[in-house]
Homo-oligomer: A and B are copies of this chain.
Amino acid sequence: MRIVVALGGNALLRRGETLSIENQRTNVRRACDHLAPIAAEHELVISHGNGPQVGLLAMQAAAFAGAPPAPLDVLDAQTQGMIGYLIEQELGNRLPFEKPLATLLTMIEVDPTDPAFAHPTKPIGPFYAKEAAEQLSTEFGWSFAEIEGDFRRVVPSPRPRRIFELAQIRWMLDHGAVVICAGGGGIPTAYVENGQLEGVEAVIDKDFATGLLAHDLNADRFVMATDADAVYENWGTDVARPIARAHPDALFERRDEFPEGSMQPKVVAACEFTAASGMPSAIGALEDIDRLITGEAGTVVTVDVDGVVYGPQA
């Protein structure tokens, strides 16, 4: 099977951890323990988020007076190198030497008239107290949003329209390589007046980017690995209950029930992939990845059920 996996935040950094390479490497090692058996058995494409990392690079660049900070597209490219390196090295350490891996820089086209540019929603970087956020907002013109009582920088998150390196990714898969690509949702780019491709100040949602990737690669499975073991109805309340399986049409209709910027984009990406391809997608914990693929864990979106089926798997 051709399997496309999006690694969410906790695969790289757990909430509350310092954003050190040491912590990220520890988490990447744990993720690769689960991914290596999949890579040995299937065609595997891995994407990853970059919210904390791209925000940190922006902070570091802003803290140094010797050179102007790089724009977000360039910082995105830096995180593709940084995180791709950690994954390629640690996954390689868990596979036979002969198994090839390839980390491919990935640019993705967005629509410069996407309404997302007027409404920054994607949180990046660390959490701040209100006063610190206000100071950064004044100093750098950054936008902030209140998230769970703290403040985080938010940037525009346009929809991905086209993956430029798609053929290159396919060629690598044809040669049996594990491909790491579309990191951080891909580098957002757009055509400007003279037909030139340019970077834009944005961070694409990695679940949307990976869903497009899974679709365009004719993937057999699209898996989003995250903090939660499944999608929950009434998440965070006494009557929360996990969704085991759902038809994409039924779940898509209920997308507004799920938190924006966390579970909602995953639900929408899963529904869109499965509705368009007829192939299952799954949302759940990285530890369960083998059973997410077989449909025995997490929330599986599939055209093989009607409506929504509750209850933990198995």
Could you list which residues of chain A lie within 8 angstroms of chain B, going by C-beta atoms? 18-22, 56-57, 59-61, 63-68, 70-71, 73-74, 77-82, 84-86, 88-89, 92-93, 100-105, 107, 126, 164-165, 167-168, 171-172, 175, 177, 180, 187, 189, 196-199
Contacts and interface: CB of A to CB of B under 8 A. Distances in A.
A168 B100 contact: yes
A93 B190 CA distance: 12
A77 B66 contact: no
Nearest to A98: B167
Contact of A59 (B57, B66, B85, B197): B66
A126 B189 CA distance: 30
Contacts of A189: 89
Contact of A105 (B21, B67, B71, B88): B88
A168 B174 CA distance: 11
Contact of A77 (B18, B85, B107): B85
A238 to B, nearest CB: 37
Contacts of A22: 68
A127 to B, nearest CB: 11
A100 B187 contact: no
B102 A104 contact: yes
Give the most central of A67, A126, A180, A187: most B CB within 10 Å. Answer: A67
Nearest to A194: B93
A52 to B, nearest CB: 9
A263 to B, nearest CB: 27
Contacts of A71: 21
Contacts of A126: 66
A165 B84 CA distance: 13
Contact of A84 (B21, B77, B89): B77
Nearest to A106: B103
Given A85-B74, A172-B171, A104 B107 contact: no
11 contacts: A60-B60, A64-B64, A70-B82, A74-B85, A78-B81, A85-B107, A88-B107, A89-B198, A92-B164, A168-B172, A171-B171
Given A168-B102, A171-B175, A77 B67 contact: no
A81 B66 contact: no
Contacts of A21: 68, 70-71, 74
Contacts of A168: 100, 102, 172, 175, 177
Given A21-B71, A59-B66, 9 more contacts: A18-B67, A21-B70, A21-B74, A56-B64, A59-B64, A63-B65, A100-B167, A104-B104, A168-B172
Contacts of A60: 57, 60-61, 63-64, 67
A105 B92 CA distance: 13
A102 B86 CA distance: 19
A204 to B, nearest CB: 14
